[in-house]
Chains A and B, each alone.
Chain A
């Protein structure tokens, strides 16, 4: 019976990423609906299997471990071939990825090897009878599409952060798997993994984002944004496209239509007017604060709380007040 569900557990540098628990949680829910088991696939250098024993707590019945020295870095071809092989032989109703940079690369390869479409970047997913139905923001988040997948297996990727990882006491059994073919013969090779500042929270993981725009007037004034982020303690720093195009910040910090799409608990827009392209990247944030000198700026239309005035004066005062509030807890 094809009613098991396989989740992909992402790792980097020999460690599982937190989003792996989101994939397992989604797979557990689908497996419950299908009346099957939730399995997890993990691949990496020898030792990666030992890092996965916590996944049972998120509802995995079995962990399928592929270890090989040539898999220390992400190896798209070897990962995709092995995972597709496992799905073909294992009786799976669905396969779940998280649409991270790696998941976005791997999921369509696995789907194509299985000869099925991919329902990508879903914010919800459920199994309804013989169909898998999910929701997927389209047109830069301005429209929500409900999509229906009639192929078996149903291959889906979930938007990072859309699934809240839920613990459910289980002890997973471990199954080891051998590579399919020689992983060191893959045509595409990762030659280097560049770690960003590891002390820095990623935009996708941060509960608070402080973001700056041209209203800061000069690159050196971005220090104010960094100071405010530091005061929150759990914040990442973002930027508008104008700012990354001018080289004030790296392109990887850009939030918007062609940059990162984020939905933190709190988004603080500093000196950002709110061009439609920027709003496309942050409009789903839970609470939005805007600080801008122009009362008519579009950012104030979607901000829960706004302050009109000079960011160079207001932001340091806010930083001090946040520090004080944090200290009083």
Chain B
């Protein structure tokens, strides 16, 4: 079984962002970067599948500037066999342009399964996976919270608002991964050493026209500072009064 996992390098979210002087992005000074959360679940799901089968290969692919190679090396240290870096000066916001560049690389790769995280944790569009599937003419399940693959067929579960649906599909297929499929492992020292010697191909990203751009970025209005009304049960009447008269939600 040959599995491709498309991953993205994103800033860690545990910070107070500043807007860059250009006004169209965040100030990258001092940011730490890592693999997008859902992409981590996708890598783990792929590794578990090949480990269970005892055969197969996991290939990780990313699109972005040179620094994105760190994210590929991390996936290699977790157990992926090789990596492909589709090089671009920056990651465009246009999800169709990204899907086209990925599809060009994936086309003819002989993959049984192509995984994505259900969305990137920074731009939060969730569109590249299904778009890539369309371009490749492959069946697609978006945001799978369970995934099983056997004998050329797959089954998946998707969470809906107040429910869920179960799906069946043939391979090869594209699946985007929600939380719940697999909890990511940590890289081992041995894995990190081995990753340095694993193949990492660099190719130019074939992005084409970019027709969806970020024109400005801004910080949302600050919430006014909170108020502690008091301690214990004694503060409950005051809370109820404020919910009725001030917040008008009761």
Distance between Cα atoms of A144 and B24 in the complex (Å):
10
Distance between Cα atoms of A133 and B141 in the complex (Å):
29
A144 touches B217 (CB 8 A): yes
Q: Does A162 interact with chain B (Cβ within 8 Å)?
A: no
Closest CB-CB distance, B223 to chain A, in whole Å?
5
In the complex, chain A residues whose CB is within 8 Å of the CB of B126: 104, 108, 120-121
Distance between Cα atoms of A326 and B240 in the complex (Å):
11
Distance between Cα atoms of A205 and B165 in the complex (Å):
19
| Complex partner residue of A117 from B97, B216, B227, B244, CB under 8 angstroms | B97
Q: Which of A164-172, A211-219, A299-307 forms part of the interface with chain B?
A: A299-307
Chain B 215-237, CB within 8 Å of chain A: the 1/0 string? 11111100111111111110111
Chain B 94-123, CB within 8 Å of chain A: the 1/0 string? 111101000000000000000000000111
In the complex, chain A residues whose CB is within 8 Å of the CB of B236: 307, 314, 317-318, 321
Q: Does B134 interact with chain A (Cβ within 8 Å)?
A: yes
Q: Does B166 interact with chain A (Cβ within 8 Å)?
A: yes
Closest CB-CB distance, A139 to chain B, in whole Å?
5
Contact residues, A77-127 vs B (CB, 8 A): 77, 80, 100-102, 104-105, 107-109, 111-113, 115-121
Distance between Cα atoms of A203 and B96 in the complex (Å):
30
Q: Does B158 interact with chain A (Cβ within 8 Å)?
A: yes
A314 touches B232 (CB 8 A): yes
In the complex, chain A residues whose CB is within 8 Å of the CB of B129: 108
In the complex, chain A residues whose CB is within 8 Å of the CB of B67: none
Distance between Cα atoms of A137 and B143 in the complex (Å):
20
Q: Does B150 interact with chain A (Cβ within 8 Å)?
A: no
Closest CB-CB distance, B181 to chain A, in whole Å?
10
User: How many residues of chain A are within 8 Å of chain B by beta carbon?
Assistant: 101
Contact residues, A174-196 vs B (CB, 8 A): 187-196
Distance between Cα atoms of A192 and B29 in the complex (Å):
48
Q: Which of B9-17, B44-52, B196-204 forms part of the interface with chain A?
A: B9-17
Q: Does B159 interact with chain A (Cβ within 8 Å)?
A: yes
Main secondary structure of the interface of A (DSSP, over half): mixed
Distance between Cα atoms of A76 and B131 in the complex (Å):
13
Nearest B residue to A236, CB-CB: B162
Q: Does A33 interact with chain B (Cβ within 8 Å)?
A: no
Distance between Cα atoms of A322 and B14 in the complex (Å):
35
| Complex partner residue of A188 from B128, B139, B211, B229, CB under 8 angstroms | B139
A318 touches B38 (CB 8 A): no
A101 touches B240 (CB 8 A): no
Q: Does B152 interact with chain A (Cβ within 8 Å)?
A: no
Q: Knowing A139-B26, A143-B26, A287-B249 are in contact, say whether A307-B239 is a contact too (CB < 8 A).
A: yes
Chain A 218-231, CB within 8 Å of chain B: the 1/0 string? 00000000000000
In the complex, chain B residues whose CB is within 8 Å of the CB of A194: 163-166
Q: Does B170 interact with chain A (Cβ within 8 Å)?
A: yes
Distance between Cα atoms of A197 and B167 in the complex (Å):
20
In the complex, chain A residues whose CB is within 8 Å of the CB of B244: 325
Q: Does A38 interact with chain B (Cβ within 8 Å)?
A: no
Q: Does A141 interact with chain B (Cβ within 8 Å)?
A: yes
A304 touches B161 (CB 8 A): no
Q: List 21 A-B contacts (CB under 8 A).
A: A73-B165, A100-B160, A109-B140, A111-B96, A112-B99, A117-B212, A118-B96, A118-B212, A120-B124, A121-B126, A138-B217, A139-B11, A149-B211, A191-B166, A195-B162, A266-B247, A305-B229, A305-B242, A307-B236, A308-B232, A317-B236
Q: Which residues of A contact B (CB under 8 A)?
A: 12, 73-74, 76-77, 80, 100-102, 104-105, 107-109, 111-113, 115-121, 133, 136-151, 160, 187-198, 200-205, 207-208, 232, 251-252, 254, 257-259, 265-266, 276-277, 280, 283-284, 286-290, 295, 300-310, 313-314, 317-318, 321-322, 325-326
The 8 closest A-B pairs by CB, nearest first: A112-B134, A108-B127, A117-B212, A187-B139, A108-B130, A112-B131, A117-B96, A309-B232
